């Protein structure tokens, strides 16, 4: 008797192909019409979203490296010091920093209509009343409180930002995305905005900032050495000129002198002039070598694809939105049929 009950219960849990076909036959129209309706709703919703355009530039960095090092790994060797530590894997961190956001906010931009803005900060503050989505979001934002007084900082390297300024910097940083190919080191910088011209200008500014930052990092030590040697060369040149003038003046004053003391003083001045001349010549050679080393350390970025004003929009992608809505509609329909109409879950109890 117990076995019969267990068997009957197992039979109720089995679903045959015929049952599935019967289920599809009975609810075929519902399973087709509802996802289609959801897809239409998704398409209509996509028309409410702002059109976005993606501008990009593609860079290929070239470094003067030895044959033992791979192109992208840029292993640090003892001979080159720490110049190679700024590998491309760290480039995204450069374009996510606060100084980069402050740099972007200072860049002048021109929108698609040709209107000029003094900087990106002014572009952000433009009238956005026509964008109803932004207006709705503004209704739910809390009103900013009175600005707090800036606390004087003991060190100039510490940055103190207000919440509004930090929000603008974060918005500027969020405009730019960077991707570094792990295989060949190709760097792609992109910016997606509603205005294609502004997007292209932001990409170009990001590229310039990245290149300048990497150049400064890799050549900073050698450049400092060149500046130091340049100062020493000027000092050595002044010393040589003084020694030459002293020797020439002494010879003019003692043109007919035959005393040994006069000859000894002339020899001393002559030795001083030769030493000053030798030091000056040696420093000039080292300065030229340092300048050449700066050129060797400086990385070269080849532009594979320059920043262009995008023509076609990149978002919203209506087909993808329609598919997502259709899938959601199908899932909701199946949930309704299984749990609320047929109540299959009650049959398992």
pLDDT at 201: 94
Query: Measured between alpha carbons, how far is 23 from 342 in angstroms, rounded to an integer?
Result: 10
Residues 6+ apart with CB under 8 A from 228: none
Angstrom distances, CA of residue 164 to CA of 50, 100, 146, 168, 245:
24, 17, 11, 6, 64
pLDDT at 235: 93
Tokens of 297: 């350390």
Roughly how many angstroms between the first and final C-alpha of the chain, as a whole number? 19
In the chain, what are the domain boundaries?
Answer: 25-49+316-349, 50-72+82-125+162-315
Give pLDDT tens digits along the chain (349 positions): 444 444 444 444 466 777 677 777 888 888 888 889 999 998 888 888 888 899 999 998 875 443 334 444 444 333 444 445 678 888 899 999 999 999 999 999 998 888 999 999 999 887 554 444 444 444 445 555 555 555 556 666 788 888 889 999 999 999 999 998 878 878 999 999 889 999 999 999 999 999 999 988 888 888 888 899 999 999 999 999 998 888 888 887 776 655 666 678 778 888 898 999 999 999 999 999 988 888 888 888 888 899 999 888 888 888 899 999 999 998 998 888 888 777 765 665 5
Question: Per 3-state DSSP, what percentage of the chain is helix, strand, and coil (rounded to 5)?
Answer: 60, 10, 30
CB 60 within 8 A of CB 302: yes
What b/e string do you get for 192-221 counting C-beta neighbours within 10 Å, with b at 16 or more? bbbbbbbbbbbbbbbbebbbebbbebbbee
Residues 6+ apart with CB under 8 A from 81: 221
Query: Measured between alpha carbons, how far is 265 from 267 in angstroms, rounded to an integer?
Result: 5
pLDDT at 346: 64
pLDDT at 108: 93
């Amino acid at each position: 008797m117990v076995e019969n009950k267990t068997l009957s219960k197992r039979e109720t849990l089995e679903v045959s192909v015929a049952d599935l076909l019967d289920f599809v036959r009975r609810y075929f129209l519902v399973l087709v019409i509802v996802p289609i309706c959801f897809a239409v709703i998704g398409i209509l919703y996509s028309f409410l979203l702002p059109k976005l355009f993606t501008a990009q530039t593609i860079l290929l960095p070239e470094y003067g490296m030895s044959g033992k090092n791979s192109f992208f790994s840029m292993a640090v060797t003892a001979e080159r010091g720490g110049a190679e530590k700024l590998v491309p894997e760290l480039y995204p961190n450069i374009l996510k920093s606060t100084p980069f956001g402050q740099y972007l906010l200072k860049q002048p931009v021109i929108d698609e209509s040709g209107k000029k803005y003094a900087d990106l900060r002014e572009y952000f503050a433009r009238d956005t009343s026509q964008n109803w989505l932004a207006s709705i979001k503004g209704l739910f934002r809390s009103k900013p409180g009175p600005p707090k007084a800036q606390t004087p900082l003991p060190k100039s390297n510490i940055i103190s930002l207000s919440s509004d300024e930090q929000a603008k910097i974060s918005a500027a940083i969020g405009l730019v995305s960077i991707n570094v190919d792990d295989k060949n080191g190709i760097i792609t910088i992109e910016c997606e905005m509603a205005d294609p011209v502004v997007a292209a200008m932001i990409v170009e500014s990001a590229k310039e900032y990245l290149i300048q930052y990497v150049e400064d990092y890799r050549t900073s030590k050698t450049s400092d050495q060149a500046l130091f040697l340049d100062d020493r060369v000027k000092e050595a040149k002044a010393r040589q000129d003084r020694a030459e003038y002293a020797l020439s003046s002494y010879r003019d004053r003692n043109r007919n002198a035959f005393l040994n003391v006069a000859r000894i003083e002339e020899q001393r001045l002559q030795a001083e002039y030769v030493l000053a001349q030798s030091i000056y010549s040696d420093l000039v050679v080292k300065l030229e070598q340092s300048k050449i080393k700066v050129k060797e350390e400086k990385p070269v970025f080849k532009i594979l694809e320059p920043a262009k004003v995008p023509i076609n929009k990149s978002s919203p992608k209506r087909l993808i939105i329609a598919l997502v809505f259709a899938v959601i509609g199908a899932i909701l329909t199946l949930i309704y049929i299984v749990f609320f109409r047929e109540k299959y879950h009650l049959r398992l109890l």
